[in-house]
Amino acid sequence: MNEKTKKKWTLEAVIELLIVIMLGVTAVTTAWASWIGSLHGGNQATNYAKSNNLASEGNSEYNAAVQQLSYDESLWNDIADMQLTFVFAQQNNDEEKMEETAYTLLYKMQDNLTDEMAAKIDWNMELTEAEYDDPVATISTWLEKDNAMTSPFDEDFINSYFDNANELLAESQATLEQGQKDNSNGDAFGLVSVLYSITLFLLGIAGSFSNKKHKYAIVAISMVSFILGTIYMCTIPMPTGFNLGSFFGG
């Protein structure tokens, strides 16, 4: 065997060895890309389900807030009417009406006001026994406070009714967006799997070419496909919370 033939055979052997190695490596990376893609798909489904649950809970909280706001506004209208009745009776020295109105107003507020609304109108929910025993004095003292006869329903107070609902709906939206990212990342790993499948196909048919130039061209194209797939895969985020060690008890 002359030197020229020996060099050709050595190059051919290297190419054959490269094909065998790349077939193994590409098979492993294809399986890896498919697995990671499926994990993204699982996260997507989980996040979509969680988002729906949060949205449902948020909507329920919103409806409850609307009902509570409506109730409190109606309650305030009743309180305001009784305030005016008490003040009018006070101005006319109608002690019987004052006592009747003060008693009704005191217990109506004690039984129905929320702590937040009571704070807005300067009403103390923790009355002493003496304050219970003298409703007229208690109501008279309260009406002298700055916010006693001022509607509590300013913009900030109204918005506070919906804080829990808005928090849940915001979390739902964030979870939905994460699910959409998982979906996109899963699709991206699917594309990587396609590139690796092309690589496997090209490497598989390379051996059937008797023409060396054609074989080398096919191998070169397969290498480009593998490199592009690998580079692209490295740019895709791993699934949220992914820890390879956890699959082996780590």
Give the whole-number percent of the chain exceeding pLDDT 70.
Answer: 93
**Which of 36-45, 75-84, 89-98, 239-248 has the lowest average pLDDT?**
239-248
Rounded-to-integer distance, Cα 143 and Cα 83, Å: 8
CA-closest candidate to residue 224, choices 194, 199, 190: 199
78-99: average pLDDT:
95
Tell me, what's the pLDDT at 208?
A: 83
Query: Per the domain annotation, does 246 fall within a domain?
Result: no
Query: Per the domain annotation, does 64 fall within a domain?
Result: yes
Tell me, what's the pLDDT at 8?
A: 52
Query: Per the domain annotation, does 16 fall within a domain?
Result: no
DSSP state of 151: -
**Which of 25-29, 43-47, 64-68, 240-244 has the lowest average pLDDT?**
240-244
Rounded-to-integer distance, Cα 45 and Cα 186, Å: 11
Higher pLDDT pick, 208 / 231: 231
Its pTM surpasses 0.85? no
Confidence check: pLDDT of 2 > 70: no
Rounded-to-integer distance, Cα 22 and Cα 219, Å: 10
Q: Give Cα 80 distance to the centre of its chain.
A: 42
**What's the pLDDT band for 246 if we cut at 50, 70, 90?**
low
Tell me, what's the pLDDT at 145?
A: 94
> What tokens appear for 82 in the block?
């009784």
Q: Residue 242 in 3-state DSSP?
A: coil
Tell me, what's the pLDDT at 16?
A: 87
Range of the domain at 186: 26-238
Query: Per the domain annotation, does 3 fall within a domain?
Result: no
Rounded to 5°, angle at Cα 108 from 104 and 110? 120
Query: Per the domain annotation, does 212 fall within a domain?
Result: yes
114-122: average pLDDT:
96
Tell me, what's the pLDDT at 113?
A: 96
**What's the pLDDT band for 12 if we cut at 50, 70, 90?**
confident
Rounded-to-integer distance, Cα 226 and Cα 19, Å: 12
* Count: domains in the chain: 1
> What tokens appear for 83 in the block?
């305030």
Confidence check: pLDDT of 55 > 70: yes
Query: Per the domain annotation, does 46 fall within a domain?
Result: yes
What totals of helices (H) and strands (E) does the chain contain, helices first? 8, 0
Query: Per the domain annotation, does 35 fall within a domain?
Result: yes
27-45: average pLDDT:
94
Q: What is the pLDDT of residues 168-216, one digit of tens each?
A: 999 999 999 999 999 999 999 999 999 999 999 999 998 888 788 888 8
Q: Residue 161 in 3-state DSSP?
A: coil
- Phi first, then psi, for residue 125 (nearest 5°) are -75, -15
The per-residue DSSP string of 46-87 comes to: HHHHHHHHHHHHHHHHHHHHHHHHHHHHHHHHHHHHHHHHHH
Query: Per the domain annotation, does 11 fall within a domain?
Result: no
